Amino acid sequence: MFDRFKGKDRRLVVGLEFNESSAALLANAASLAERTGMGLHLVHAVEFSHLVYSSAYPAGYAAAKLALMNEEHLHEVAKEKLAEYVSSLGRDLPVAVSVLSGNAAEVLQAQASAHGASAIVCGFTGTPRKYRPLGLSTVLSLMGHSRVPVLVLPTNNPLPDFARDRELTITVADDLREASAEALTTACELAANLGHSRLVHLHVHGQTPREIEEWAGRIVESLIIHELEPEATMGKRDPVAETTQNIESQLIHRLGFMKNLLEAEPGCRYRTDIRYGVVTEQLHHAVEEQHTDILVFGKHRLLHKRPFTIGRVPFYAMLNMNRPVMVASTLH
Instruction: Among 196, 221, 236, give the residue marking a domain's end.
Output: 236
Share of the chain above pLDDT 90, in %: 39
Q: Quote the CA–CA distance of 315 and 140 in Å, as a whole number.
A: 8
pLDDT, average across residues 285-296: 94
| Number of alpha carbons in the 13 Å side-chain half-sphere of residue 266 | 0
Predicted TM-score (pTM) of this structure = 0.84
Mark whether 181 and 287 lie in a shared domain.
yes
Q: What is the mean pLDDT of residues 323-330?
A: 88
pLDDT for residue 164: 75
Q: Are 167 and 294 in contact (CB under 8 A)?
A: no
The reply to whether 136 falls in a domain is yes
Whether residues 187 and 273 share a domain: the answer is yes
Question: pLDDT band at residue 306, thresholds of 50, 70 and 90?
Answer: very low
Same domain for 279 and 228: no
Question: Do 175 and 110 belong together in one domain?
Answer: no
273 versus 302: the higher-pLDDT residue is 273
pLDDT at 145 over 90: no
Pair 174, 226 in one domain: no
Q: Could you give the CA distance from residue 78 to residue 88 in angstroms, rounded to a whole number?
A: 15
Please give the Cα distance from 326 to 172 (Å, whole number).
9
Q: Are residues 110 and 258 in the same domain?
A: no
229 and 271 housed in the same domain: no
E runs forming strands in 8-107:
11-15, 39-46, 95-101
- Full domain range(s) for residue 226: 210-236
Question: Given a cut of 70, is residue 303 above it in pLDDT?
Answer: no
329 located within any domain: no
214 confidence band (pLDDT: 50, 70, 90):
confident
Q: Does 331 reside within a domain? A: no
* Residues paired with 327 in a beta bridge: 150, 297
50 and 128 within one domain: yes
- Chain CA centroid to CA 99, Å: 25
- Quote the number of domains for the chain: 3
Provide the pLDDT confidence category of residue 64 given band limits of 50, 70 and 90. low
CATH of the domain at 269: 3.40.50.620
Q: How confident is the model at residue 275 (pLDDT cuts 50, 70, 90)?
A: very high
Dihedral of CA 255/260/266/271: which sign? Answer: positive
